[in-house]
Chains A and B, each alone.
Chain A
Amino acid sequence: MKFLTEYRNKEIALAFSKKIKRIAKNKWVIMEICGSQTHTILRDGIDLLLPENVILVHGPGCPVCVTPLEIIDYAHELSLRKDVILCSYGDMLRVPGTKGSLNDAKAKGGDVKMVYSPLDALEIAKNNPDKKIVFFAIGFETTTPMNAKAIEIAEKEKIENFYVLTSQVRVPPAIEAILNSPGCEIKGFLAPGHVCTVMGYEEYEPITEKYNVPIVVTGFEPLDMLEGIYLLIKALEEKNYTVINQYKRSVRREGNKEAKKTILKIFETGDMRWRGIGVIPDSGFVLKQRYKKFDARNLLADKIKSEENKLCIAAEILQGKKKPTDCSAYRRICTPENPLGAPMVSSEGACAAYYKYGK
């Protein structure tokens, strides 16, 4: 397929591998933020092509994994209400909550529907005027503009039974939180190519200056990733602390202006809780006052008591401090069929990637 297969050439991958080995003189710990890239690394054995002194650690860029447990429990509770249809991306349905997953809620009689896009949820709202339709709007900057668009359309078309339950997070404040955490060994980052396709990379420039770290905006195919790693190691060896754009075919410095405009019409930045990591200042997008009537949090008054599974070390995994293989439950108790934590469920979770590719 065009724009895919040509980025999977084995000979060029091996050439990159040799080149990286040749230029990497020091020990470098680098992090890929994005969970899709974690999957590419494990699927294609990118880590095996790197010299021992280049260490890849996996970051928090799994939207399903960082969605707080309280919000999952909230969605569970809402879906059990007779007047609510809860619409969610498929990945979210299997994440265990305190009282079970959304799939369990469905088995208990909750109306839970899997959708591919917030526009699908909007369609369901139009077709079910007597029900409240809640779209579980989770994700990074890549899916925030779509949530904003759905709200914009709902307002324009006066679809008054459409609500969003949001957990929308931003990458740059998470990078800063990781760099500020005690004992951080990470010296450079691969920034997620599609987040930057939407937002551009201006926001990353002050980070490179403040912390002396290079950041390479990187694509998702094996050769994209190898080139991204090569550029990052080269920048580290040359002490070139800037943003470099490897994924030029999709990313422009200013990002996608239309998408950004739509986000900022409906949302503003605000403090946000990341599952396992805690609250990171200004790291989320929340509804502006004017659009609060779309907030599904208004629908439930009760407090929900959420409880994390004691065995799961997802918090450390999401910060790159531990690998799935360090978890005592990994493979023995926690499997994709019986996941204890979100990183084993999601197609972008590190535990699922390790499991699938046989680590």
Chain B
Amino acid sequence: MCLGIPGKVIEVYERDGTKMGKVEFGKIKREVCLSFTPDAKPGDYVIVHVGFAISILNEKEAMEIFKTFKEISRIEDEISN
């Protein structure tokens, strides 16, 4: 039940005063409640749990981590060569 997977917001709207949106997970589209991520906008990636987005993924931080990954690979390569 705790399947927190990232999906892409493709539409944002309001229903009965609650912020909702359509989120795409690969080929599947689902309606998701966005009331905990009021800043979510189309194009953002969100983590969704039981029908609610709980965070907007931070692209800058996501890029940072790849720098670390690359660095680690490089250092380990150097050590083993």
Chain B's nearest CB lies how many Å from the CB of A46? 16
Answer yes or no: A104 CB below 8 A from chain B CBs: no
Within 8 A of A (CB), among B47-76: 47, 49-52, 54-55, 57-59, 61-62, 64-66, 68-70, 72-73, 75-76
Partner-binding segment picked from A254-262, A273-281, A324-332 = A254-262
| A12-B73, A197-B54 given; A347·B65 CB < 8 A | no
Which B residues lie within 8 Å of A193 (CB)? 4
Contact (Cβ within 8 A) A142 B33: no
Q: Are A91 and B1 in contact (CB under 8 A)?
A: yes
Contact partner of A18 (CB less than 8 A), chosen from B8, B35, B80, is: B80
B36 adjacent to A145 (CB under 8 Å): yes
In the docked arrangement, what's the CA distance between A153 and B5, Å?
A: 25
Closest A residue to B17 using CB positions: A156
Pick from B58, B73, B76: contact of A249, CB below 8 A: B58
Give the docked Cα–Cα distance between A57 and B72 (Å): 26
User: Is the CB–CB distance between A118 and B50 below 8 Å?
Assistant: yes
Chain A residues in 8 Å Cβ range of B64: 248
- In the complex, A347→B61 CA distance in Å? 29
Given A146-B52, A153-B18, A256-B54, check contact A2 B6 (CB 8 Å).
Answer: yes
In the assembly, what is the distance between CA of A348 and CA of B49, in Å?
14
Q: In the complex where A116-B51, A146-B52 touch, is A256 in contact with B1 (Cβ < 8 A)?
A: no
Contact partner, A15, options B18, B35, B77, Cβ 8 Å:
B77
Q: A4-B5, A139-B1, A142-B4 are in contact. Are A258 and B72 (CB under 8 A)?
A: no
- Can you list 22 contacts pairing A with B, beta carbon distance less than 8 Å? A2-B45, A3-B57, A3-B62, A4-B6, A15-B76, A35-B2, A119-B33, A139-B1, A143-B50, A145-B36, A145-B52, A149-B33, A248-B64, A249-B57, A249-B62, A250-B47, A251-B55, A258-B38, A262-B36, A346-B1, A347-B1, A347-B3
Residues of B within 8 A of A (CB): 1-6, 8, 16-18, 25-26, 33, 35-38, 45, 47, 49-52, 54-55, 57-59, 61-62, 64-66, 68-70, 72-73, 75-77, 79-80
* Those 5 A-B pairs whose CB atoms lie nearest each other, nearest first: A117-B51, A15-B76, A248-B61, A3-B6, A89-B1
